[in-house]
């Protein structure tokens, strides 16, 4: 009997030990955060396409034939046009093209501008501000009615003012005021504005008011000068507005041409990877490459794709321990294969 009791006690001790181990393991599991579903979706997207989930593309409505290629490679968010409101031909063409793009499932970022670089008659003054304001409100209504994902009040309008009757400070005040009005009209999504990177500090001082997002365009430089403090500008945006209150509406190595940065496409790809990795590390969740086609584009004039398409945008893994200098001849390991989905 004592032998049987001894065996029973041993069995009970084993059961208690097993229960303790199971309980400890269960308690040690990490509690999932509220963003688990979103993170899972992002990871699936990166696994499927190889690109960072936050990457978008800047596209002109005249390049709408490329939308299917972009969608096939995981680019579901496109910033399109931001046309000058005075350019009735461009504005009408943009409005005619966007519904078909939106119908494909694209999340479109769109709005209007008054770009004095395109036409000096578009310079913003105290006298013509009421006309621009009304154009913004009219465009917001159109965007609401036609399924635009995010509405923009303008793009770098600090560069488009006369500087006397309309100062940067007055422009910011006006844009914050019209943002309040726009939010009563456009309810599909966020209302945003893209400030000139040289005036990020002005917006930090003034605050973004009722704007959901204060964004900016970030470049390393242009026309032979590549010492812009682009990392500091990104840090400034994040520190002032938080990762949910800012993003990058345009980014690239150069605002003049990629070949001005370097004629070596391997160097272009590696330097662009560095930018993407820094943006990701900052916590920013969205950044749009400028642009799809042209001197700054993924697609060159002859219809071929730059190396950065595969080696930076579709695969943001770092290819070099350090970014090569502009004069370095770099080689990439292995054979570079084009993505089969791309059609030329």
DSSP H or E stretch at residue 26: helix 2-28
CB 67 within 8 A of CB 97: no
Strands in the chain per DSSP E: 55-59, 77-80, 107-111, 150-155, 191-195, 213-221, 248-254, 287-289
**pTM, entire model:** 0.80
Tell me, what DSSP letter sits at residue 193?
E
Q: Give me the phi and psi of 195, to 5 degrees please.
A: -90, 155
Q: Is the dihedral of CA 20, 21, 22, 28 positive or negative?
A: positive
- Cis check for the bond before 291: say yes or no (omega within 30 of 0): yes
43 conformational bin, left if phi > 0, alpha if psi -120 to 50, beta if neither: alpha
101 conformational bin, left if phi > 0, alpha if psi -120 to 50, beta if neither: alpha
End-to-end CA distance of the chain: 86
Under CATH, to which class is 40-313 assigned? alpha beta
Q: Can you give the residue ranges of every domain in the chain?
A: 40-313
Q: pLDDT 10s per residue in the chain (344 long)?
A: 433 433 444 444 444 444 443 344 333 332 333 333 433 444 444 545 579 999 999 999 999 999 999 999 999 999 999 999 999 999 999 999 999 999 999 999 999 999 999 999 999 999 999 999 999 999 999 999 999 999 999 999 999 999 999 999 999 999 999 999 999 999 999 999 999 999 999 999 999 999 999 999 999 999 999 998 999 999 999 999 999 999 999 999 999 999 999 999 999 999 999 999 999 999 999 999 999 999 999 999 999 999 999 999 997 443 333 444 444 333 333 333 333 333 32
Which among 140, 83, 145, 92 is positioned nearest to 112, based on CA atoms?
83
Residue 125: per-residue pLDDT = 98
Hunting for tokens 């002032």 — which residue is that? 240
Q: Give me the phi and psi of 233, to 5 degrees please.
A: -65, -40
């Amino acid at each position: 009997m004592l032998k049987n009791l001894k065996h029973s006690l041993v069995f009970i001790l084993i059961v208690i030990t097993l229960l303790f181990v199971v309980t400890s393991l269960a308690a040690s599991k990490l509690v999932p955060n509220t963003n688990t579903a979103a993170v899972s979706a992002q990871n699936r997207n990166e696994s499927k396409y190889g690109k960072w989930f936050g990457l978008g593309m800047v596209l002109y409505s005249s390049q709408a034939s490329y939308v299917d290629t972009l969608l096939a490679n995981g680019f579901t968010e496109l910033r399109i046009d931001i046309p000058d409101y005075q350019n009735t031909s461009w504005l009408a063409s943009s409005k005619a093209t966007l519904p078909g793009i939106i119908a494909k499932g694209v999340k479109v970022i769109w709005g209007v501008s008054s770009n004095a670089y395109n036409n000096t008659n578009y310079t913003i003054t105290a006298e013509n501000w009421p006309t621009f304001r009304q154009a913004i409100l009219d465009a917001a209504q159109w965007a609401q009615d036609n399924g635009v994902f995010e509405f923009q009040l303008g793009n770098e309008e600090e560069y488009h003012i006369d500087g006397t009757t309309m100062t940067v400070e007055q422009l910011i005040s006006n844009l914050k005021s019209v943002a309040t009005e726009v939010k009563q009209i456009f309810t599909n999504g966020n209302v945003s504005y893209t400030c000139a990177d040289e005036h990020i500090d002005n917006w930090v001082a003034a605050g973004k008011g009722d704007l959901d997002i204060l964004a900016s365009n970030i470049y390393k430089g242009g026309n032979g000068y590549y010492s812009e403090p682009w990392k500091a500008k990104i840090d400034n945006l994040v520190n002032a507005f938080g990762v949910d209150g800012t993003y990058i509406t345009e980014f690239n190595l150069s605002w003049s041409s990629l070949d001005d940065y370097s004629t070596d496409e391997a160097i272009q790809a590696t330097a662009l990877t560095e930018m993407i990795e820094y943006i990701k590390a900052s916590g920013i969740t969205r950044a749009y490459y400028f642009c799809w086609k042209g001197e700054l584009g993924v697609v060159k004039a002859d219809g071929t794709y730059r190396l950065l398409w595969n080696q930076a945008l579709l695969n943001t893994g770092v290819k070099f321990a350090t970014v090569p200098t502009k004069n370095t001849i770099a080689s990439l390991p292995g054979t570079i294969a084009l993505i089969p989905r791309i059609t030329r």
